[in-house]
């Protein structure tokens, strides 16, 4: 059952009731005490009532400890009933002494259930039920058979002449109670608390770092109370009037507020740790954190090195996977480990496997799920953007490939069609000119006209050849980038040098983009590089294909020049093969055009 945080009016009501109980405790203690320091004794016993109730209220208002806080409040009321053992009235006195027996299983439960308010192992449940059975079988029935309760007691200041048992139904106390029942139950009680302390020590040793912070003070107090309880029971049997017994009784009395303080220290250490961890988490994560960054940040911030995150991949018949997308087993809780599911609305996004101590901590759950949703959403958007960029890049590549294919078709058509027809026409004109002239001067004028037409056709053939070479040069297709660039340099109006060594063949898309980028830069240098005396094309081939076209012209200021179609074409061609373009220029220092094309995924497919 989940306990919800109490409202402020409810807290005030509980606090008022606690004040009333403390006042009653003080009055009963001072009126029934024969000590010279009755006021001090009353103050101490009021503190024993106030401490567990105050700590219970503190825990009840902290989400991860609500359940334990409610249990501690019940324990505080149970302990208040024990202070009735200071009353002079037999009935109240007897109720107080019986309440002490009932309080022992309650206290053992609190020690073993701290801080979540749940018994997490079978051994813990066995210990608590064993203490309940001991009280039910060896303690409670004796309330109907004994004339007086054993003294001294941690819940009563009375040591002699104490009120009789108001619930005694027998004429005299059976001898077997003193001879068998009391020694047996005291031995079992001491043993149970000793095992309980060992169980807390075992939990402390196997607990996470967070749980150890909370359990350490509780273990210390549990050992202290076990030792004080043993001294009281053993000393009361061997030397009830000894000073060491009286001292042990008061130590046992003070063990209750000390236990409450230990609970408080543990809860505060837990609370401070979570607050600081949340701050560390916020400082570690940034807007573009990856899923692995999230896992590392959570693990380090909450001191849980084994924290893991798995992701739900797909819908319907999907599966769980790690950050790399590899399938993993469905997450499940194990000993000491809990699973928190991360949801975005109704959709499951991921699951966080973490320290079980954090299972009920809302601060951790809220922080972890919020940052997980944000990180995973950012990761999804980033992946989506990358996918869209990949689609755009592939689309550009297809467009450029289609354009290059069209260039090659046009070049082939010009070479095999128009160029061949023009050559045939040139031959026919020459033949017609020869037939027109008879060698005696007759028809010379007509022959001259035909030969002039033949020259015009020859010029047209040259222009067609030039156009065909510019569309997609055969040297580029047959011999690669360097051969294509050298052929282009020979036909450039600006003296051009090509520097290249060890350049390999690459895919048609890569070589085409590189060639036309350099060709465009070279044409710009020839057209706009006023005063240029030459240009250099440098090609390097390592992990990337690096191109550089330099001229010694007048240069320009890039920020003051609007990029034209040439620069746009270069950038588009390079972008289609994931390349980048950089243009450097300044007045009087020429222009440098540099391009870089990654080669990891490009291979020359062969002719």
- In whole angstroms, give the CA distance from residue 572 to residue 397: 9
- Give the pLDDT mean for 254-273: 88
CA 215-217-219 angle, 5° bins: 65
Would the pLDDT of 129 be above 90?
yes
As a whole-number percent, the residues of the chain with pLDDT over 70 amount to 80
For residue 172, what pLDDT is reported?
A: 81
Find the DSSP H helices in 33-89: 38-60, 66-82
Question: Which tens digit of pLDDT belongs to each residue from 390-413?
Answer: 666 666 666 666 666 666 666 666
Task: State the sign of the Cα–Cα–Cα–Cα dihedral 319, 322, 328, 334.
Answer: negative
- In whole angstroms, give the CA distance from residue 393 to residue 385: 12
Domains 8-276 and 478-607 share a fold: no
* Number of Cβ within a 10 Å radius of residue 374: 15
φ, ψ dihedrals at 355, nearest 5°: -60, 130
Would the pLDDT of 420 be above 50?
yes
Instruction: Answer with the residue of higher pLDDT: 102 or 327.
Output: 102
- In whole angstroms, give the CA distance from residue 378 to residue 366: 18
Instruction: Answer with the residue of higher pLDDT: 19 or 318.
Output: 19
CA nearest to 535, candidates 490, 474, 470: 490
Give me the count of residues in the chain: 607
Does the domain made of 478-607 have the CATH classification 3.40.190.10?
no
565-574 contacts, C-beta under 8 A, 24 or more apart: 566/520, 566/523, 566/524, 569/516, 569/520, 570/516, 570/517, 570/520, 570/521, 570/595, 572/396, 572/400, 573/400, 573/512, 573/513, 573/516, 573/517, 574/513, 574/517
Q: Which residues are registered as beta bridge partners of 355?
A: 337
In which residue are the tokens 């004028």 written?
445
Q: Kindly list the distances between the CA atom of residue 586 and the CA atoms of 120, 324, 406, 538, 559, in Å, as whole numbers in the listed order.
A: 75, 47, 37, 20, 10
Tokens of 326: 């590899």
- In whole angstroms, give the CA distance from residue 160 to residue 166: 17
- In whole angstroms, give the CA distance from residue 207 to residue 213: 9
What is the CATH topology of the domain spanning 8-276? Rhopdopsin 7-helix transmembrane proteins (1.20.1070)
Task: State the sign of the Cα–Cα–Cα–Cα dihedral 560, 565, 568, 573.
Answer: negative
Would the pLDDT of 561 be above 90?
no
pLDDT classification of 1: cutoffs 50, 70, 90: very low
For residue 98, what pLDDT is reported?
A: 93
Would the pLDDT of 8 be above 90?
no
Would the pLDDT of 605 be above 70?
no
φ, ψ dihedrals at 285, nearest 5°: -85, 145
For residue 603, what pLDDT is reported?
A: 46
- Give the pLDDT mean for 222-247: 80
For residue 123, what pLDDT is reported?
A: 92
pLDDT classification of 607: cutoffs 50, 70, 90: very low
- In whole angstroms, give the CA distance from residue 151 to residue 235: 11
- In whole angstroms, give the CA distance from residue 59 to residue 267: 7
Would the pLDDT of 152 be above 90?
no
For residue 602, what pLDDT is reported?
A: 46
In which residue are the tokens 């390592």 written?
542
Beta carbons of 153 and 252 less than 8 angstroms apart: no
For residue 63, what pLDDT is reported?
A: 74
Would the pLDDT of 604 be above 50?
no
The domain segmentation of the chain, as residue ranges, is 8-276, 478-607
Question: Which tens digit of pLDDT belongs to each residue from 339-391?
Answer: 888 887 777 778 888 888 787 777 778 788 887 777 776 665 555 555 556 66
pLDDT classification of 2: cutoffs 50, 70, 90: very low
Stretch among 8-17, 42-51, 84-93, 219-228 having the lowest mean pLDDT: 8-17
Q: Is pTM, for the whole model, over 0.85?
A: no
């Amino acid at each position: 059952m989940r306990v919800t945080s109490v409202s402020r009016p409810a807290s005030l009501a509980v606090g008022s009731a606690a004040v009333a109980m403390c006042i009653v405790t003080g009055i009963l203690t001072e009126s029934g005490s024969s000590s010279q320091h009755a006021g001090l004794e009353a103050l101490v016993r009021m503190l024993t009532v106030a401490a567990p109730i105050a700590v219970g209220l503190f825990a009840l208002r902290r989400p991860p400890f609500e359940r334990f806080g409610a249990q501690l409040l019940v324990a505080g009321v149970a302990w208040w009933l024990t202070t009735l053992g200071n009353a002079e009235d037999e009935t109240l006195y007897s109720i107080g002494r019986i309440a002490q027996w009932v309080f022992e299983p309650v206290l053992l439960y609190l020690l073993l259930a701290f801080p979540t308010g749940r018994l997490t192992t079978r051994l813990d449940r066995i210990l608590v039920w064993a203490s309940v059975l001991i009280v039910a079988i060896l303690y409670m029935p004796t309330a109907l058979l004994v004339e007086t309760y054993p003294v001294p007691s941690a819940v009563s200041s009375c040591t002699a002449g104490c009120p009789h048992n108001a619930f005694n139904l027998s004429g005299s106390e059976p001898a077997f109670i003193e001879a068998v029942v009391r020694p047996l139950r005291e031995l079992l009680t001491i043993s149970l608390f000793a095992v309980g302390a060992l169980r807390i020590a075992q939990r402390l040793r196997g607990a996470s770092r967070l749980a150890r912070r909370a359990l350490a003070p509780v273990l210390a107090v549990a050992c202290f109370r076990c030792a004080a309880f043993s001294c009281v029971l053993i000393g009361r049997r061997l030397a009830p009037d000894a000073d060491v017994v009286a001292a042990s009784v008061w130590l046992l009395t003070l063990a209750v507020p000390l236990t409450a303080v230990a609970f408080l220290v543990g809860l505060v250490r837990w609370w401070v740790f979570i607050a600081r961890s949340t701050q560390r988490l916020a400082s570690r994560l940034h807007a573009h954190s990856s899923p692995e960054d999230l896992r590392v940040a959570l693990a380090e911030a909450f001191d849980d090195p084994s924290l893991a995150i798995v992701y739900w991949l797909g819908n319907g018949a999907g599966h769980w996977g790690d950050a790399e997308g590899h399938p993993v087993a469905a997450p499940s809780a194990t000993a000491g480990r809990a699973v928190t599911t991360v949801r975005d609305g109704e959709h499951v996004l991921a699951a966080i496997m973490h320290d079980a101590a954090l299972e009920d901590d809302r601060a951790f759950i809220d922080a972890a799920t919020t940052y997980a949703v944000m990180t995973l959403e950012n990761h999804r958007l980033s992946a989506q953007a990358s996918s869209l960029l990949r689609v755009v890049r592939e689309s550009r590549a297809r467009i450029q490939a289609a354009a290059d294919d069209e260039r090659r078709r046009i070049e082939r058509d010009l070479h095999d069609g128009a160029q061949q027809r023009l050559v045939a026409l040139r031959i026919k004109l020459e033949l017609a000119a020869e037939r027109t002239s008879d060698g005696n001067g007759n028809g010379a004028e007509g022959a001259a006209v035909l030969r002039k037409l033949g020259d015009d056709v020859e010029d047209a053939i040259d222009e067609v050849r030039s156009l065909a070479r510019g569309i997609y040069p055969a040297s580029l297709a047959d011999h690669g980038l360097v051969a294509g660039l050298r052929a282009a340099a020979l036909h450039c109006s600006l003296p051009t040098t090509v520097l290249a060594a060890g350049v390999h063949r690459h895919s048609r898309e890569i070589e085409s983009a590189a060639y036309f980028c350099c060709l465009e830069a070279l044409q710009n240098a020839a057209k706009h590089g006023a005063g240029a005396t030459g240009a250099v094309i440098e090609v390097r081939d390592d992990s990337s294909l690096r191109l550089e076209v330099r001229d010694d012209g007048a240069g320009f200021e890039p920020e003051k020049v609007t990029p034209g179609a040439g620069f746009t074409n270069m950038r588009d061609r390079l972008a289609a093969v994931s390349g980048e373009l950089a243009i450097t220029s300044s007045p009087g220092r020429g222009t440098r055009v540099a391009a870089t094309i990654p080669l990891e995924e490009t291979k020359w497919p062969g002719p």
